[in-house]
């Protein structure tokens, strides 16, 4: 892999990731010719803390002006051609990462990046080749390491939102990466559960979760030599799959080469199955695909990404070594059946208590039925 760094006209960083080490990027094609105001002037976010829940909320009013469902001919994530200038100056690319023009987090409040998986506007992640999916994994890994080393970054979150039903405003195949200046509430809950389980049993919670699914097997969807995918026992969403490496690691940079090599095969198959859940002719399945990684804070952080452990988050949860965390990907859809969505109503939105219409065992069986032939 070769990484080439440049700057957009407003000062934001843009990175080209090419699969070949000898790839050459013409500097003339890397120059952004748009007349843009400096990014620091146009984007600012304010982090506020909810005094009752302790949750952090990002106030980002500038996002009201972000690009919203442009026609394909005006997509800002396609390559620049002729006189049409986009966020990506080059006339073609494999994988590109750049700082979001309308970030939810910026400056001391964190950082938001966009990841374009392909220059093909009409493609999807599921249609990528294994080589390209592997390059995306390499980009996620590189960005996790780079962003985790920022002094303000406590946690790095790589994810893809796919489909208008999810709230996606740009149809081009892409995802995002957030570098949060705090440990997110969901991760804090996982760390708390991990610490309590370790204290009570002496065992790792993530290992026990995976071990239970492999023992019971009713919810296992797909297995490889280095990865296992299953519908969780208490799935929140109608169709939800968790993908774990068999060898527990805290984050993407810690994956070994065999796991990296196998990942594209497993993940692309999962995405293809998601598109078959609701039958032939159904529209593409909307989904969220989210990597859960250990935060770069607290006991065991170490290295260049180490942060001050005695922060507010650490004070409010049981301390656990980050190496006890289990990297995993959560893939889920809000579609519960053909033509019907799972809405977060009173119980879910008001009290965070989910009610799932599809039994996890039924969802797993359906995902096994739609395996590639």
Active site residues: 174
CA distance 196 to 194: 6
**β-strands 340-341, 335-337: how paired?**
antiparallel
CA distance 57 to 350: 16
Contacts of 153 (CB under 8 A, 6+ apart): 110, 111, 147, 179, 180, 181, 296, 305, 307
Residue 284 carries which DSSP code?
P
CA distance 95 to 144: 16
Which residues lie across from 156 on neighbouring strands? 179
Give the largest Cα separation in the chain, rounded.
64
Nearest to 18 by CA among 100, 121, 138, 130: 138
CA distance 302 to 237: 35
Q: How would DSSP label each residue in 347-371?
A: IIIIH-----SS-HHHHHHHHHHT-
Contacts of 17 (CB under 8 A, 6+ apart): 1, 2, 3, 94, 95, 96, 97, 135, 138, 139, 142
The sign of the CA dihedral 145, 147, 151, 156 is negative
What does the block give as tokens for 168? 């996606």
């Amino acid at each position: 892999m070769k990484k080439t760094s440049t700057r957009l006209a407003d000062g934001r960083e843009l990175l080209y990731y090419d699969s070949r080490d000898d790839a050459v990027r013409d500097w003339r094609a890397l120059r952004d010719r748009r007349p843009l105001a400096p990014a620091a002037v146009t984007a600012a976010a304010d982090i506020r803390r909810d005094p009752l829940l302790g949750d952090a909320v990002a106030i980002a009013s500038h996002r009201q002006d972000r690009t919203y469902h442009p026609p394909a001919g005006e997509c800002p994530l396609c390559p620049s051609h002729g006189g049409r200038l986009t966020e990506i100056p080059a006339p073609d690319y494999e994988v590109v990462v750049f700082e979001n023009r309308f970030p939810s987090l910026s400056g001391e409040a964190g950082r938001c990046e966009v990841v374009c998986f392909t220059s093909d506007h009409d493609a999807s992640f599921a249609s990528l080749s294994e080589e390209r999916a592997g390059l995306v994994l390499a980009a996620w890994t590189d960005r996790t390491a780079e962003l985790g080393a920022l002094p303000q970054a406590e946690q790095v979150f790589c994810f893809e939102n796919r489909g208008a039903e999810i709230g996606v405003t740009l149809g081009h195949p892409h995802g995002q990466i957030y570098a949060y200046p705090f440990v997110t509430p969901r991760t804090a809950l996982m760390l708390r559960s991990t610490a309590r389980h370790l204290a009570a049993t002496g065992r790792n919670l993530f290992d026990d979760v995976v071990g239970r699914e492999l023992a019971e097997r009713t919810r296992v969807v797909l297995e490889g030599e280095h990865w296992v995918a299953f519908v969780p026992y208490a799935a929140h969403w109608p169709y939800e799959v968790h993908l774990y490496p068999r060898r527990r690691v805290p984050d993407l940079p810690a994956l070994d080469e065999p796991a990296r090599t196998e990942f594209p095969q497993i993940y692309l198959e999962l995405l293809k199955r998601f598109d078959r859940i609701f039958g032939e002719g159904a529209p593409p399945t909307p989904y969220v695909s989210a990597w859960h990684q250990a935060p770069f804070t607290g006991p065991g952080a170490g290295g260049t990404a180490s942060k001050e452990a005695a922060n507010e988050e650490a004070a409010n949860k049981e301390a656990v070594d980050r190496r006890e965390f289990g990297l995993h990907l959560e893939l889920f859809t809000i579609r519960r059946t053909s033509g019907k969505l799972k809405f977060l109503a009173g119980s879910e939105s008001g009290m965070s208590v989910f009610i799932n219409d599809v039994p996890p065992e039924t969802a797993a069986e359906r995902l096994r039925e739609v395996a590639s032939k």
